Amino acid sequence: MRFDADWMSRADDRILEHLAEAGPDTPKEMADSDRVRFSRQHINARCKTLVEYGLLVHLGNGVYDITRQGEQYLTGELDARDLEAD
């Protein structure tokens, strides 16, 4: 069971799942995938928020990847309500 936080949106789980499965990717490629199904602009904004909370890392050139904390959230080992923005 996942424990999401008030600051999270519906897109966040899809983004995290996509990156856990496919590896590092850009918001454009995520928007083009069948899994995420949100606009590139929305995905880009959500990725920036997920970086602030430590669930994603920005690798540069618009590429994001999931962190260990992001993986723990997906498996239910981490309660996102306990995270604070950097």
CB 56 within 8 A of CB 66: yes
What digits encode the pLDDT tens for the residues 59-78? 999 999 999 999 999 999 99
> Considering the entire predicted model, what is its pTM?
0.95
Q: What pLDDT shows up at residue 43?
A: 98
Note the pLDDT of residue 38: 95
Nearest to 47 by CA among 38, 56, 37, 59: 56
How far is Cα 5 from Cα 69, in angstroms, rounded to an integer? 14
Write out pLDDT tens, residues 8-35: 999 999 999 999 999 999 999 999 998 8
Beta bridge partners of 58: 64
Nearest residue to 14 (alpha-carbon basis) of 57, 60, 70, 68: 70
